[in-house]
Amino acid sequence: MARITLKGDPVQTFGDLPAVGTTAPDFTLTGSNLSELSLKDVLGGTVILNIFPSLDTQVCAMSVRRFNAEAAGRPGVKVLCISADLPFAHARFCETEGIDNAVNLSSFRSQDFGRDYGVEITTGPLRGLLSRAVVILDKEGFVIYTEQVPEIAQEPDYEAALAALP
């Protein structure tokens, strides 16, 4: 389990991120139009999983904007922005913010996602939501980069994630 903090207070997650070099766990998540999207639907190019607690926080919203602007428009790169927010919140956020390259997905129907990826927060006030993490997969679904952000209120290391792209 990852030991992270929320504004300095300890928080734990269920398990750890998938290890670099391993096959990413399969998932089926819900899109902002209520359609389902599985890992197999996005393989064939590099996939960035931008995982976070909620679009309703400034840091989470910033990560979606930044990955949308800096990575989602690159050829062969797909950015999936994943939280437990309802699909309606994802749709509203994308429309308001002009998010047109990244794909926003909800884990609200997939309780396994947070556990399989080691990002389900199990203690503290955000218990049940997803921790802030970045997982990058190659075109075949192997994990090539991970970052479990140590402080939930902190942004991910965008430069390191972008440098990991093939």
CB 166 within 8 A of CB 136: no
**In DSSP terms, which residues pair with 105 in a beta bridge?**
31, 82
Q: Among the options 47, 48, 60, 152, which is catalytic?
A: 60
- Residue 60 bears catalytic tag: yes
Cα angle: 56, vertex 59, 61; to 5 degrees: 50
User: What amino acid positions are annotated as catalytic residues?
Assistant: 60
